[in-house]
Amino acid sequence: MNVRYLAYFLPFLFCCCSKSQSGSSNPNGGNVTFTTSYDSVITCQANSKYYFTFGVNVLSGDIASDPVYCSIVGLPSNVTDTPASLRVAQLQGGVFTLSIGNVPVGTDTVHFVVTSTAYGGQTHDLILKIVPAVDYAALLVGTYDSSYDFCTPSIINYTAVVAAVADTPSEITINNIKNLGTGFVVRAWVTNLVTIPAQTVDGYTIWGTGTFTRDSRPAYDTSYILTINDTLVPPGNDTETCTIHIQH
């Protein structure tokens, strides 16, 4: 196991897990007995990563001479795990990285396989639960009357309106950026980032990326701030690089 997996696994050693299974030695060889612990329900979204951690608690014997091998099998299409198998010895646990592709919302059963010389092999069911992606667009809808763009060395103040796009999750529109008018409407996508794809509006070409965060001011603690680094190419003029601040 390399250092990257160890970094994910160490916090796991100090907490309890929702599932435990015992292993025991037999007369045919090997001398280690142990229990395994892990979360039996994997809840994630499509197009994401999930880190499946597990522990092996040695009850007796020497796990260095009788190591435990673990793997996850039966994964659906568009889901892969890294590594394909883990040898568990003194670290007494590990982590699999599940790469979740374009998988439909729903549940599936996969299998956590644990083997050792003494224990033989045993298969434990895991529930892979794909949940809908969070639509952050609805959180950002509103009128932001203290918005401004910082374009070195000037600041442009304006009121912007953020609206959700009907029937298109995670898409928003922002109007009046840089005080270019309420008819100047820019489309953007909201995931964990805010992305303005390259587009031309009223002869201006604009694109950029940024973030949205909770407004830390006490009176606005239910509101959000959008901060987007953008590039604007006006008709017939030089390219401008600014920072958009959409806030109340």
* Same domain flag for 10 and 47: yes
What's the first-to-final CA gap in the chain, in angstroms? 49
pLDDT tens for each residue of 24-37: 433 334 567 888 99
* Same domain flag for 117 and 235: no
Average pLDDT score over the chain: 86
- Domain of 222, CATH number, reads 2.40.128.420
Cα(207)–Cα(212) distance, integer angstroms: 16
* Same domain flag for 184 and 153: yes
pTM above 0.85, yes or no: no
Query: Is there a contact between 210 and 216 (Cβ–Cβ < 8 Å)?
Result: no
* Same domain flag for 206 and 94: no
* 3-state percent helix, strand, coil for the chain, nearest multiple of 5: 10, 60, 35
Cα(140)–Cα(112) distance, integer angstroms: 40
pLDDT tens for each residue of 122-173: 899 999 999 988 888 989 999 999 999 998 888 999 999 999 998 888 899 9
Supply the range of the domain harboring residue 44.
Answer: 3-131
- Domain of 51, CATH number, reads 2.60.40.10
